[in-house]
Every structure is written in structure tokens, then in C-alpha cells.
Chains A and B, each alone.
Chain A
Amino acid sequence: MNAVAVIGTGQTNHAKARPDVTQPELIREAVDAALVDAGLTADDIDAVVMSNMEMFEGRALPELWVAEGAYGTGKPVFKIATGGTSGTSACIAGFHQAGSGAFDTVLVVGFEKHSEGHTQTGMALVDPFWDRAVASGALGNFALSISQYMAERGVTEEHAAQVAVKARRNAANNPHAHLQMPDLTIDDVLKSRMLAEPLHLLDMCPQSDGAAAIVVASGDTARKRGPKAAWVHAAATRHDQPYLGDLDRRLITTRALRSAAASAYAQAGITDPLRDFDIAEIYEPASYAELAWYEALEFCDDGEARRLIDDGVTSMDGELPVNPSGGVLSTNPVGASGVIRVAEASLQLLGRAGDRQVAGAKTALATGYGVYAWSDVIVLRSEMP
């Protein structure tokens, strides 16, 4: 793939509800921040890729209405919509557009205003002949997959609670994060409300209102600006069979994520992910999912994820800090969450991550995950490919 780089990022301060702004206004906050960060004006943007799950807010083709928030009027604009991977897939679409030679600078904007609709119901509007009558949204799906994962891997509720605590404590260093809980304890997680056994309230991601944007530049454009950029070294998307009962999509197998990681690692020359990456921003919608992703992303062998969290390998001072931003467990505007992963990974490489900065980060991983068996894996480096 032709060289491209992320040269700017911007986010809203994510929250449970933003009744003070329309969807276009929410988007504008993130886009203006990204343009300032990139040192550009709206006129410098050649094309816009948007990302959002329109059924969550009951819209059809929402970009028609909201694109003006991204200065999209009179520009090439379209939208990507694949659940949890909407944002990372939109970023990858932006990489391809900027790498195509057609555009110098592409803006990628993800957004979601869950407070305006019904996300769990939206997720349950699946095949009307098969499982619409019984579908229970993300909770039921994850809980089922987790019960199987725990039995197979010997993971306990305490292991998962450690992930939940790490995420919310990291989020306390991130002014954009929705849930910031610097004093959260394992006990707090285990005592929080049971949503779907074994998932406690604090094991799950929140639903957030928020938007995030990145500015992607073609290789030539990025080089002309100087060396400081987050360069894309690999991007891989994999989709898998669609039904919840199709066995290879669950936490113990995660076939799509494993396949995407293998492809991305081969593209970027990653041979020992735990050592090769300095920081990872992975899309973990539930505490248990992060443990499963450690295995799928080859941070460890299958069954060893609990050791990584027990030993603090993925905490801020560990060998590979995972989700310094607080992750999806702390902030989840679905259409934006994948863009946030890429934005946060880029911020680390640009050295602009503030209190959540991992010193000297040079190689970063960003992933997206959609409950319907979609996975994206992206490798970024501070060095040009």
C-alpha cells in the first residue's frame, strides 16, 4: 500500500449525553480540533470519510444531514457503517483514499449520539426470521461468548475486573474520556450490578455521545510537512460468517481478528507483538474481550492472557501499555470508537498524548472489533515506511 500518515487528531469530550448539540455540531467540535492539531484549515481537506451506525439513531444516510459539520459540503463524502469497526474501517478507507493519488488530505470523522436512540434495541434488529425474536443486543451476545471463554481458558471474574480497573484508571489521565474512575477497585467491579452473567455493569463499555476525527495525508504531503507524523505501516480488515451461532466468531476463536492480525503483522514486519509494539489501543467492548484479544493479537499464547493482566504487563508501566486512553471500556460512541483508537495511537507516536503519554512510543497498534464478526488491525509507526 502506498505511504500515508496521520497528521492530526481531534475529539470531543465524550459524555453520556450531549443534549446541547446536534449531531453536526458534535462533529464540528472534533473536526475543528483535528484541523488545529494538523495546522490546516477546512479548505485544505480534499475528501471526507464518515463513520456511524445510523440505525442506533434511527437515521438513513445521516451523512446527508451531518456532513456540513465536517465541512463536507461541496466535497467528496461517504460513510462507512460496520458496527464496532465502522471507525477503523473509515480510517482504512481514508488511508486508501489518501494513498490513491486522488487526494492529498482526507478527513475521517466518526460519531455517535447514543442518547438520541436505542442502541441495544438497534443491535437486536437482526434477521427477522431467525433471531430477532430472541436477540438481546451486545450484552447477551458477549455474555454467551464469555461464559464459553471462561470455561475454556480458566479466566475468572477477578481477572476481568482487573482489566476494568486498569481501563478506568487510565481514563483518569485522559480529559476526553467518558468514565474517569481513578479510585476504582476490583471489589467495586465485582459488586457492581449484574447485567448478564458473568458481566457486571463495570465490565461493560458505556454508551457515549461523542465524535473523533483524524487527518490523513498522502505520503508526499506528509513528507513535505516534516518528519513528525504517525505513518501507516499496515491495515487489514477481515469479516466472518454472520450469525451468532456460527462458531468461529466467538472469544475463544476470534477467527477474523486472528486473520486480520496475521495479515497486518506480515505487512509491517511485526514478529513479536509484545516487544515490537510500544503501545496498543484495542477495541475492547467488555473487560473479558481485552483478555481474549491479548491471545488473538499474539501478545501471549492462548490461555496466558490472565498472566498478562496479573503481572501488569499491559498496565501503563508494563512492557506493553494497552489502552492508555481508557479504551472502549471508558468511552464508546460506537461510530467514533474506532477512530478514537487510531487517533490515540497516533497521538502517542506524535508525542502529544499528555498525561497518558507512553514515553518514547515508536510503534503502535490500533484495532477495531464489531460484534458481528468484523475485525480491523492497523500498525502505525513514527518512522516512515
Chain B
Amino acid sequence: MADASRQRQRDVAVLGGAETEIVPEDLRSIPEMVLEAVAGALDDAAVQWEDVDAIVTASVDLFDGLTASSIAVTEVVGAVLKPETRIAADGMAAAIHAVHQIAAGAYGTVLVVAHGKASMAPHWDLTEWAMDPVYLQPLGVDFLTVAGLQANLIADSNRVGRCASLGDGACAVVLSSSVPSGAAVITGTGHDLDAHYPGDRDLSTWSGLQRAAGRAYEQAGVRDPATAFAVAEPSCMFPHEEGLFVEATAIGKNTPLSPSGGLMEGTAPIVSGLTRLLAAARAIEGNPGRRALAHGAWGPAGQGHAVAIVEAT
């Protein structure tokens, strides 16, 4: 990956964003819930619907019990006759793709939207359908099982510790190539997918996060992560993951983690990473030169990771 000739990625501003309150069951429909986040994000970013050049949405069909789950939100994200890219992964991966679209010169302003409703079906049972159908799913292995194995290695617990309470929510963030003065900008991104079969990788580390963070550091010119960040906003669903996060990102032990409150009090599937990006941007806005690290994770025991470095201007 290291290529000295590669240009530093163009800075992308986080113009604004909004999220719905995470509740155990949001009785609104998915479009109603998403509309609140989108309208709030446009308002926060001070942009109009017509200022948005493209939309990246994140959703997972089986989680929503709906084929092509993005069609539920096409209208409320303002994607009618616009370029919409639908990514089936955590919202942070969607945000990173929006950064790539802007850096490629394809679009100026991109709206990123993620939604998830854990209330719709037993979430961990659904995750069995994300496991290898030949070797793992027939055993009843789900994301919780793999997280439990990881917790056993890290914390010597017999089962997974306290879990973030999963609910319903949506988040929307507006990213742009035009950087208003004082805006938080994304200066580096990285994402990574680790081995799927839990016995194939060293579950006692988040090596995928190490790679993802390494890519983001290289782009952002972060040389010493131990002192680089005023704040880190990790996507940790279980208490044992914080240690994995700190080790893999090599951030300083004194770097404040999740001053926003983090995920433990409530989060929604697929939405977590995007809310971390928003929290990270808000944490440093108005403090020029300050940096924050935002993190999204998905899959069993952090198989997928995505990192964005946000810097205040």
C-alpha cells in the first residue's frame, strides 16, 4: 500500500449531520425514521436538497426483512433522479465511499445515510445468515458466539460480557469538497475485511483495524497515533472491545474514548459507524488543528473495520 508517489487525498468537509434518538422500538416506518435524520442533517449542514449531488446509503436486506431495502428510503434521502449508491455494510464504509467519490472528482456534495431497526427481528439470530453456510451456520453460530470466543481470549470470561443495547435508529451526514472555514475535514480513511472463519485469524487482536487505521494514518500524515488525537470514537459493542481498539489503533492510553457516550447505552445495526463519524467531527469542531479518530465495525468479532481521521480547520 505504501506508495510515496501517491497524492494526499483531497480533504473532504463534514458539513453536518443528524441522528435519531436510539430507542428499543421506533414505531415509525423506516422512511419516517430516516427522514428525520436526513432533514436534520441538511439543516445542520445548511444545505438544500438540490445542493446534494449524490447519495450513499447503507442498509442490509435481511436485517430489514425486505429485498433491496434501499428502495424504502429512495425518496426520503432525496435520491429521485440522482446518483444513489447503496452499500450493504456499516455506515462508516458508506461514508468512506462518499469520500472516495468526492476525491475522484465525481461529485461535490454527498449525503450519507444509514438505518437499522434491531426491533424488527431477533438480531443475533439473523446474523447466523451472515456466517459460512457450510461450516458455521448449521451449528447455530452467530456474531454473539464469535464475540464470546473473543471475550474469552481477552477477558477470560465464559460468555460475552455486557452488550451494547441494540435498538432502532438512523443517521445522516453531509460531506463536501467545499470546506467552509472552521469545518471538520476528513483527511484520511481506511477500511478492511479480515478472515471470516474465526479459527483462521488471531481473535485476540483486531488486526483488521490495525490495517484500516494504518491506511488512514498514511493518508492523513499521522506519524504518532499515540499523541495525534484529541478524541477517539470507537464502535465497541462489548466492553472487551475497547482494549482491542486501543491496541490496534495505537492511540495513546490517555486519549479520551467515546466522550459522546459511545454505543453501550444504545445503537442500531449498520448505523453505529456513521454516528461515530458525526460525534468525532463535533468533538473537535472549532479547535483548529485538533484531530479525532472515528471507527465503524461490522461482521463477527470485528471482521470488518472502517476508520476516518477528522481534523478541525
Contact = CB atoms under 8 A, between A and B. Distances in A.
B100 A239 contact: no
Contacts of B298: 61
Most buried by A among B61, B62, B192, B207: B61
Interface residues of A, number: 64
Contact of B299 (A59, A61, A76, A125): A61
Contact of A239 (B74, B97, B104, B134): B74
Given A68-B196, A96-B101, A89 B68 contact: no
Interface in A31-83: 46, 53-55, 58-65, 67-68, 72-83
A192 interface: no
Chain B, interface residues (CB within 8 Å), range: 35 or more
B9 A102 contact: yes
Contacts of A161: none
Interface in B181-223: 189-196, 207-208, 211-212, 215, 219
A241 B127 contact: no
A54 B103 contact: no
B61 A81 contact: yes
A80 B88 contact: yes
Contacts of B80: 239-241
A46 B1 contact: yes
Contact of A59 (B130, B207, B211): B130
B39 interface: no
Given A60-B130, A241-B74, A259 B81 contact: yes
Interface in B1-29: 1, 3, 5-10
Contact of B126 (A60, A78, A81, A237): A60
A93 interface: yes
A28 to B, nearest CB: 14
B61 A55 contact: yes
B40 interface: no
B266 interface: no
B131 A123 contact: no
Interface in A252-302: 255-256, 259
Nearest to B9: A101
B254 interface: no
B84 interface: yes
A238 B70 contact: no
A99 interface: yes
Contact of B63 (A60, A100, A220, A256): A60
B67 A59 contact: no
Contacts of A126: 66-67, 71
A123 B3 CA distance: 44
A122 interface: yes
Contacts, number: 198
B253 interface: no
Contacts of B211: 74
B93 interface: yes
A256 B71 CA distance: 14
B68 A22 contact: no
A142 to B, nearest CB: 16
A98 B132 CA distance: 30
B242 interface: no
A236 B100 contact: no
A237 B83 contact: yes
Most buried by B among A100, A123, A255: A100
A96 B195 contact: no
B104 A2 contact: yes
A116 to B, nearest CB: 9
Contacts of A98: 104
Contacts of B101: 96, 100
B283 interface: no
Given A77-B193, A99-B105, A240-B81, A372 B97 contact: no
B304 interface: yes
A69 B72 CA distance: 31
B85 A99 contact: no
B72 A242 contact: yes
A78 B87 contact: yes
B105 A81 contact: no
Nearest to B126: A60
A209 to B, nearest CB: 15
B303 interface: yes
A1 B88 contact: no
8 closest A-B pairs by beta carbon, nearest first, are A99-B104, A100-B103, A60-B62, A237-B83, A100-B100, A77-B193, A242-B71, A60-B130
Interface of B: 1, 3, 5-10, 54, 60-63, 65-68, 70-72, 74-75, 79-89, 93, 97, 99-101, 103-106, 126-127, 129-134, 189-196, 207-208, 211-212, 215, 219, 298-300, 303-304
Interface of A: 1-2, 4, 22, 46, 53-55, 58-65, 67-68, 72-83, 89, 92-93, 95-102, 104, 122-128, 220, 235-242, 255-256, 259, 370, 372-373
19 contacts: A2-B104, A4-B104, A60-B130, A61-B298, A63-B89, A64-B131, A64-B300, A64-B304, A68-B195, A73-B194, A74-B192, A74-B194, A75-B192, A78-B304, A80-B86, A97-B104, A101-B6, A239-B82, A372-B71
